Structure 1
Amino acid sequence: MLILTWNCQGVGRTLTSQALGDLVRKNRPSIVFLMESKNNKVKLETISNKLGFDNSSYVDPDGLSGGLVLWWDTDVKLDVEFNSKNYMHVIVSEIASRKVWAGTFVYGCPARAGRNIVWEEIRRIARAELLPWLCIGDFNQVLCNNDKMGGNYPNQSAISLFHELISDCGLIDLEFKGPKLHGGITGTGQISSWSVLI
C-alpha cells in the first residue's frame, strides 16, 4: 500500500492540481494526505472525484491558510477518530490483508510558539495508541542541518526538541522524499520537505 503526503500550499491552483493528478496516476496511492489545501470541501470533492477517490475527510482552512485533506480508495477503510488543524488521527483497515493500524497524519504548526502544543498531542496519542502506529506528514521542523538548504541556519534548540519527540514516541525517521526545504520556502507543484515516521 502506498501513502502520498504533500504540503501542497493550495491545491486549487492549476499547476498544483495537475502535479497532484500526475502523482496519483503514476503511483496509485491508497491514501492521500494534503496539507495547506486552502480550499473548501466543495472544491476538494471535485478534485477527489476526478482522481477516483470515493472517500474523504477534511479539516477546513482558517481563512486563507491551513486546511487538511484525507482521501482514500476502496482498498482501505478509514475511521477518523479525531482531528484538529494540525493532525488527523485514524484507524486504517486494509481490506485484502485484514491488517488494522493507526495513523496520525500531521501538519506541524508553522509557528514555533504553537509547535510544542502539537508535539504534546502527538505524545499523548503515542502513549494511548495500542495498534501499530504510523505518524506521517510535514512536521514543519528539520531533524538536522542537512535537511535544509539556504536561508537562516536551523534553530538547534528546535532540532533538539524534535529529536526528543521522536525518542519519546518511539518513532523511527524514514527520511523525507523530494527536494530539501530551501530557505524556508518551497515552490508550487513540488513535494515539499516532509518526514515519514513509524
Structure 2
Amino acid sequence: MRIIAWNCQGLGNALAVCGLLDLQKYESPDILFLSETKMDWNRIERFRWILNMPNLIVKDCKGLSGGLDLFWNKEVDLTVKSLSRYHIHAVVKEDSGRKWCFTGIYGEPKLEEKHKTWKLLRIRKNNI
C-alpha cells in the first residue's frame, strides 16, 4: 500500500496542481493526505475525479489557512474515526483482516500552542 502525505501550501495555483497531478501519476498512492490546501469542500471535491480517488474526507480551511483532505482509492477499506482542524484519524482494514491506524496531522503553527499537537498525538496513541 502506498501512502503519501503532502503539505501543498495551497492548491490555488497551477504549479501546486501540476505537482499534485505528477505525484499521482508517478507514485499512484492508495491513500493521499493533503495539508494546508487552503480550500473548502466545494473547491477540493473536483480533485477526487482528477486523481481517480473517489473517496474523500475534507476539513475545510479557515479563511486562507489550513484545510485537510484525505483521499483514498476504491480498493482501500478506510473508516474515518475523528477529524479536527489539525488532524484526520482513520482505521484501515487490509484484505488479510489486519487493521492499522492512520493519523494525518498538521500541527499548531504557533510555538506556544504546539503542546496541543502533542496532546492530540498522546490521545490518539491511548485510544488505539
TM-score higher than 0.5: yes
Question: Runs of 4+ in structure 1 displaced over 2 angstroms?
Answer: 96-99
For 1:102 and 1:118, how far apart are their aligned partners in 2?
17
Asked which structure has the greater CA Rg, the reply is 1
For 1:30 and 1:90, how far apart are their aligned partners in 2?
14
Question: Taking structure 1 as the reference length, what is the TM-score of the superposition?
Answer: 0.62
Q: Matches of residues 120-131 of structure 1 in structure 2 within 5 Å?
A: 120-129=119-128
Match of 1:169 in 2: none
- 3-state DSSP of counterpart to 1:37: coil
**1:99 maps to amino acid:** R
- 3-state DSSP of counterpart to 2:11: coil
Gaps of 5+ in 1: 130-198
1:50-100 deviations in Å (ceiling 9; x for gaps): 110100001111110001000000121211111111111111122x44331
**2:81 maps to amino acid:** E
Gaps of 5+ in 2: none
Q: What percentage of aligned pairs have identical amino acids? A: 35
The number of aligned residues is 128
**2:114 maps to amino acid:** R
For 1:100 and 1:12, how far apart are their aligned partners in 2?
35
Match of 1:150 in 2: none
- 3-state DSSP of counterpart to 1:110: coil
For 2:12 and 2:49, how far apart are their aligned partners in 1?
14
Question: Taking structure 2 as the reference length, what is the TM-score of the superposition?
Answer: 0.94
2:73 pairs with 1:44: no
Match of 1:100 in 2: 99
2:15 pairs with 1:4: no
For 1:29 and 1:98, how far apart are their aligned partners in 2?
21
Higher strand share: 2
